């Protein structure tokens, strides 16, 4: 069943909880935004509402995606972060960044000063089979990461799948 990505999806509320900000969408999807440092955050949307650590990709593996809990590792920057109502929705302000949530568009954007450093083009799409996040392009941006993408240094302009295929060659 689809939990997000409808043309009339909206953000209903943004609230500051004990260790994170909770974002509630009009389809009952909840997300959590953890402030990790004044210039870092983790946005975690979980259709199940459990917000568990990611599952291991195979039996007997001991890889840890999260080495510290955000509840204990980022108390000072989180406590200092301010939540305010904004013209189009809500705004979370740290000493280094501003995170804007657009109520009607159901999107977020991140600014350093007046410069937009990341913005969603459309709402997050989550289904039983996949999750899609589409970011706006500025013309001067570059994208890196996405798991192991052998043979690729920059992923700018590319559509990638973030999945384990056990294929370790270029494009795998």
pLDDT tens string 6-40: 568 999 999 999 999 999 999 999 999 999 999 99
- Among 149, 168, 148, residue whose Cα is nearest residue 63: 148
Residues in the chain: 172
Identify which of 96, 101, 108 has the alpha carbon closest to the alpha carbon of residue 37: 96
Q: Which residues contact 110 (CB under 8 A, 6 or more apart)?
A: 97, 98, 99, 100, 116, 117, 118, 119
Pick the more confident residue, 145 or 54.
54
Mean pLDDT of 117-130: 90
**Tokens linked to 88:** 């189009």
Q: What is the CA radius of gyration of the chain?
A: 17
In the chain, % of residues over pLDDT 90 = 48
Distance of CA 62 to the CA centre of its chain: 24
Tokens of 61: 């593996």
> DSSP label at 70?
H
Return the DSSP state at 2. -
């Amino acid at each position: 069943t689809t939990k997000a990505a409808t043309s009339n999806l909206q953000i209903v509320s943004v609230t500051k909880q004990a260790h994170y900000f909770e974002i509630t969408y009009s389809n009952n999807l909840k997300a959590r935004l953890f402030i990790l440092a004044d210039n870092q955050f983790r946005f975690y949307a979980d259709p199940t509402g459990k917000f568990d650590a990611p599952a291991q990709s195979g039996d007997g593996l001991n890889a840890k995606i999260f080495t510290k809990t955000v509840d204990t590792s980022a108390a000072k920057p989180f406590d200092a972060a301010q939540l305010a109502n904004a013209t189009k929705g809500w705004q979370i302000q740290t000493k280094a960044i501003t995170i804007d949530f657009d109520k009607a568009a159901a999107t977020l954007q991140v600014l350093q000063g007046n410069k937009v450093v990341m913005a969603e083009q459309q709402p997050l799409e989550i289904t039983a089979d996949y999750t899609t996040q589409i970011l706006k392009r500025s013309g001067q941006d570059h994208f890196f990461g996405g798991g192991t993408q052998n043979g690729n240094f920059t992923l700018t302009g590319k559509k990638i799948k973030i999945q384990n295929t056990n294929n370790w060659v270029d494009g795998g």
